[in-house]
Structure 1
Amino acid sequence: MGFREGNLGALGHGIRHRTTITTCLLMAVFFVCYTNREFLRFPVEHELSTALDDHPPNTLKLSDVQGVSTVSGDHPANSLTLSDAQCTALFPHAFDEIELALSRGPVKRSLDKITNGHVRARIYNGALYLTDRGLDVWHRQSAILHQIHRAIVTAPSPSELPNINFEFSVNDHPSGDVWSLARSDADKQVHNTWLMPDFGFWSWPEPHIGSLDEVHDRIIKTEGSMTWEEKESKAVWRGTVKWNKGLRGKLLDVAWDRPWSDVQRLNWSSNALAMEDFCRYKYLIYTEGVTYSGRLRYFQMCRSIIITPELKWHQTTSPLIRSAGPDQNIVIVKDDWSDLAETIEYLEANPEHAERVANNTVRTFRDWYLRPAVETCYWRKLFRAWAHVTPPVGQLYPEERGTRWESFILMHRLHWGKNA
């Protein structure tokens, strides 16, 4: 009996020893996989990359990509449920702004009193909570929160999204260490700005525009089978000069009474154009305003040529703009517009080149990068990147998490009494 007990003790010790070694090995494998995400998703991305090699992005079908479930006829850029790996492979350069922001390192999260236009919130266990919000521009705040919520609930596995605390601003001017609508590289501007998709991706009802996919459908209907020759051979612009007097005022002076010009100060009662009606023109004049101008993404859905001075403000889609080369999708002129007439004359004299630029704009933006899948992909990549540069959230009890979005959107209040 003593012999057996001794051997059983030794055997138990050996088992515990081997169990410890096995546990350590498993933890090591997990650590390598977790810190090397590319290792985990390489096979899928390899399959996606192979599919992309065989099919240009705007002709790719979900059925060409292994691991993507779909129904017949679905366009991959309309899918809201793509995995992180599928997003990366299908939409190259769509997330360059996130990579740039991530390279700046940790952010400094402020807990000062919140300012107008800002919202503080968190994602916890795959749910959206609000913790504080400033007043003003509620429609913009609401649109952004709707977008975030949609990106969460359509994720392949919402509970696998990281828990994060975040703050965003819907003001035209960006803020540092928060998610903002635009950023500038100019001196004295905020440099640690993280870009988020514009509120207009959800809807922009005030100027009678509506949701982005509605505009998309209206533009396709308007342009229909319209040929390049059938478009109006004029440069069109409507706007308010006061938002950027230098740039917009000079444009009015240069374009005044020119045969190629339909450039006018905006009067809502007499000369306003529906967004799709801009697409009837060959040349769309784009001018930045206080900072960026929200009309750019709508112009990018037209089979027209966008003409603008060098852009000073970056948005999430800015890395996709090409001002030269075979993929050119925009035409750059001087800041004082002094070469505008010459530029239009050149494009009129070279219709093949002009039409190629217009076709590139549609192929890049309307058919691909301004579709719903890219927006939801961007949000989820933003969540993951933000988790790498901010402190971990830690465990929170239900009463510590904030107000659930589903409740807030009904009550429009962060706090209410038992009898509210």
Structure 2
Amino acid sequence: MSANYPWMRPRRRGLSFFCVIGSFSCLAILAIWYGMNSDRDYIHPILTQLLPAGHCACQTSTTFQCSTCVSCSESSTLQLSASPSWKFQYPRDARNEALDQTQCQAAFQGLFEDIARGERYWRAHDGGLVTDDLDDITIQPGMVRAFISQGHLHVVTARAKGEDHRRKILGVLSSIHRALAADRDRASRRDIEFVFSVEDKVEDVTNAHHPAWVFARTPTEEGVWLMPDFSFWAWDNPQNYIGPFDQVVDRIKRVDLPWDEKTPQLVWRGKPSFAPKLRRALIEAARDKPWGDVKQIDWDTGSNVLRMEDHCRYMFIAHVEGRSYSASLKYRQACKSVIVAHKLQYIQHHHYLLVASGPNQNYVEVERDFSNLAEKIEPLVADTDLAHRIATNSVKTFRERYLTAAAEACYWRALFDGYGSVWNSSVNPWSDRTGKERGLRYESFILLESPKMFEFTADTAMSGYA
């Protein structure tokens, strides 16, 4: 046949070539899919290199310019003259959620850096915030529109996609209410209206130039405002009970070992598939190292699972971002251990207090691909006195000051004030259209049946009231 029709030979060779290329492409796609979704301990290094960065833009990271924020003062309009007669004392003041504005500024210098940044941004770009800026934000699942009027929290709109969203929304609302309830000047507080999101990433729900309150941001997402994440109130899900953050800290303090009794290894447990490129780089960098105890977990079987407090039995604890920020950092900072973190891409409200070098060093920073992990860890394993100093600085900075209940409440009120300083609209608690309240008070909102919270609007909720 081919002899009779020689013109078909090139065509067949071409088809064969495309078949081979197609087969290799399919195999490559399957291999990459497997690498991204597998939680196995080991996949071949070649496959690891082929994995795309995915949700983690591994070539980018955040560098904090305020490297001495444990002693610096932000250029905020909220800056007050601290009273020389009062100083923050742990544990006396750690749970005092009613510190006044002057005490908050004296106790937590550097904590309010991102609020000051937000103020500067909105003054420079639009001269302030107005109601139209909020109206431009489409309320997506995981978002809430609310306002504070006469010191009370009201919910206007809330959307939740399932129980996880609902729990996180309640955590944020409850934290806001707690900060307001402890405010000595609550009745005279300026009215503000705002939108917040409980999603992991800004881009999941809104534009980076919208004034939404979020848990974390990248350096280029300048329009948003940082707020403490939901787990300061409590973090619980059907598979894993954790509890309120200060309760976790209490458990950790009871079981935290003396330094000399800690295991001189780097511990990490997690699911590689959450951020495969990043997390598998850590696994490989620590593989077969005498100082490495880095393992993947299997929630179905319970394999390699460690309780939060059990991490404290190690001298070194690795921190890795996941899909975006990782709320677990603050739990690791509750241990008297050395936190080892790659260069972070996402900023949370307390990250400005991270110090990577110098006398105030409170964590160890490595490259995002963990290429210098051994170089950073091995001298500390050899000189545990130096490691002990870093761990002590971490405890003094975070567990005993900037991650206390007092600091969280102070941050919330500073956020209300900073946001309020550029809020140029009034807040009308009444709807001109319906002649009823625009928002449902927090105290009533939390009593709603769960399904009613999933697609909540105050207009609908208030329709049954005369």
Q: Same fold (TM over 0.5)?
A: yes
How far residue 416 of structure 1 moved from its aligned partner, in angstroms, is 5.7
> CA distance change for structure 1 residues 336 and 395 in 2, over 3 Å: closer, same or farther?
closer
Residue 167 (structure 2) pairs with residue 139 (structure 1): yes
How far residue 46 of structure 1 moved from its aligned partner, in angstroms, is 4.2
1:295-314 to 2 correspondences below 5 Å: 295-314=328-347
Q: Match of 1:235, SS? A: strand
C-alpha separation in 1, matches of 2:462 and 2:121: 40
Residue deviations 1:225-273 (CA, integer Å, cap 9, x gap) = x322210111111111122111111111222232211111112312111
Q: Match of 2:288, SS? A: coil
> Which AA in structure 1 matches 2:421?
H
Q: Match of 1:76, SS? A: coil
Q: Mind listing any 5+ residue stretches in structure 2 that lack a counterpart?
A: 1-75, 123-127, 453-457
1:244–1:290 Cα contact (<8 Å) kept: yes
Choose from 155, 159, 162 the match for 2:190.
Answer: 162
Residue deviations 1:55-81 (CA, integer Å, cap 9, x gap) = xx5xx37xxxxxxxxxxxx61222111
Choose from 83, 101, 108 the match for 1:47.
Answer: 83
Q: Which moved more, 1:74-83 or 1:373-382?
A: 74-83
Q: Match of 1:283, SS? A: strand
> CA distance change for structure 1 residues 112 and 354 in 2, over 3 Å: closer, same or farther?
closer
How far residue 85 of structure 1 moved from its aligned partner, in angstroms, is 1.5
1:266-305 to 2 correspondences below 5 Å: 266-268=297-299, 269-305=302-338
Residue 218 (structure 2) pairs with residue 184 (structure 1): yes
Q: Match of 1:184, SS? A: coil
Number of the residue aligned with 1:171:
199
TM-align CA RMSD: 2.2
Number of the residue aligned with 2:235:
204
C-alpha separation in 1, matches of 2:77 and 2:344: 35
Higher relative contact order, structure no. (Cα contacts within 8 Å, ≥ 6 residues apart): 2
1:6-405 to 2 correspondences below 5 Å: 45-48=81-84, 51-52=86-87, 57=88, 60=89, 75-105=92-122, 106-107=128-129, 108-136=133-161, 137-174=165-202, 175=206, 176=208, 177-185=211-219, 189-206=220-237, 207-223=240-256, 226-268=257-299, 269-397=302-430, 399-405=436-442
How far residue 335 of structure 1 moved from its aligned partner, in angstroms, is 1.9
Residue deviations 1:333-388 (CA, integer Å, cap 9, x gap) = 12221221232211011111110000000011111111111111111111111112
> Which AA in structure 2 matches 1:287?
V
2:147–2:192 Cα contact (<8 Å) kept: yes
C-alpha separation in 2, matches of 1:255 and 1:316: 30
How far residue 157 of structure 1 moved from its aligned partner, in angstroms, is 2.3
> Which AA in structure 2 matches 1:402?
G
C-alpha separation in 1, matches of 2:291 and 2:383: 15
How far residue 92 of structure 1 moved from its aligned partner, in angstroms, is 0.6
2:246–2:404 Cα contact (<8 Å) kept: yes
Larger helix share, 1 or 2: 1
> Which AA in structure 2 matches 1:47?
S
Number of the residue aligned with 1:29:
none
Residue deviations 1:129-176 (CA, integer Å, cap 9, x gap) = 100012221111110000001111110021111101100001000243
After TM superposition, where is structure 1 displaced by more than 6 Å over at least 4 residues in a row?
none
Q: Match of 2:321, SS? A: coil
C-alpha separation in 2, matches of 1:267 and 1:248: 15
Q: Mind listing any 5+ residue stretches in structure 1 that lack a counterpart?
A: 1-35, 62-73
1:117–1:169 Cα contact (<8 Å) kept: yes
1:163–1:392 Cα contact (<8 Å) kept: no
| TM-score when normalising by structure 1 | 0.80
> CA distance change for structure 1 residues 217 and 250 in 2, over 3 Å: closer, same or farther?
same
> CA distance change for structure 1 residues 394 and 362 in 2, over 3 Å: closer, same or farther?
closer
| TM-score when normalising by structure 2 | 0.73
> CA distance change for structure 1 residues 112 and 331 in 2, over 3 Å: closer, same or farther?
closer
Number of the residue aligned with 1:28:
none
> Which AA in structure 2 matches 1:401?
R
C-alpha separation in 1, matches of 2:325 and 2:424: 31
Aligned residues: 357
How far residue 276 of structure 1 moved from its aligned partner, in angstroms, is 0.6
Residue deviations 1:93-125 (CA, integer Å, cap 9, x gap) = 111111111110234323454101100000011
C-alpha separation in 2, matches of 1:336 and 1:397: 53
> CA distance change for structure 1 residues 320 and 113 in 2, over 3 Å: closer, same or farther?
closer
C-alpha separation in 1, matches of 2:341 and 2:77: 40
